[in-house]
Amino acid sequence: MTGFVSFVGSGPGDPELLTLKAVDRLKRADAVLFDDLSSGPILEFARDGADLIGVGKRAGRPSPRQHHVSRLLVDYAKEGGRIVRLKSGDSGLFGRLEEELVALKEAGIEYEIIPGVPSAIAAAAVCGIPLTRRMTARRVQFVTGHDASGQLPDDVDLSALADPRACTVVFMGKRTFPALLEELTARGLPQDTPAILAESVGTPEQAVTRATVSELAKQLIGEVGKKPALILYGPLAEL
């Protein structure tokens, strides 16, 4: 008899942003496999005696390979019981969800997906702004700032990312943003486009920097720090 896996989106880090369903699954789980950004106070909702296994991957740090994480998830599920795979933000947004779903399907293990507050939405809320604006920002686009090798992806639609009428959110892009901006300005994005760097959203280390894309790129050429971050740019509201 195999177990059942709940993929739980934990939101950006603030335990108060967990959904009721997420808390319920954590309280009933026999094992929780969690990402780095889903640790801390969020794990306090796990029941006493549950196995807590860290499987997080962070850029620039030693991290378990994805196939090892998927294999571990399958192994725990085969032992039976309720398993929670805890991912930051919403697990369907740059959360390597697909690889783990494929592994479970191949092993014949049932699962559910519980959405979480996406970090991009939480970042906008922290900044007190909407991601869409009537007449000036009718489109929102999410993009990853690096590929599997840590470099700027070479298969993204740069013309779309340079659209000054769209609000763009770059995940995991601190190291590659200066290179990205070179490509975007070459395609017409104004260098005075408003930008926001939102770091460690939903945690005590939360920090928000408002600048232009040009100013932000210059800042990130130097030390980018270790805080997880989102970069937002486009017709952002100045409220």
**Contact 146/219 with Cβ under 8 angstroms?**
no
Reading the block at residue 194, the tokens are 């408003």
Tell me how far apart the alpha carbons of residues 19 and 8 are, in angstroms, rounded to a whole number.
9
CA nearest to 232, candidates 158, 156, 173, 154? 173
Whether residue 202 contacts residue 14, with contact meaning beta carbons closer than 8 Å, is answered with yes
**Nearest-angstrom CA–CA distance, 96 and 7:** 11
- Residues forming the active site: 35, 57, 172
Max CA distance (Å), the chain: 59
**How many Å apart are CA 30 and CA 82, to the nearest integer?**
5
Strand partners, 212: 194
Say if residue 116 is exposed, middle or buried (CB neighbours under 10 Å; 0-12, 13-18, 19+).
buried
Through-space distance between the first and last CA atoms of the chain, rounded to whole angstroms:
55
Q: Rounded CA gap, 230 and 201, in Å?
A: 9
Beta-ladder partners of 232: 169, 196
CB 32 within 8 A of CB 62: no
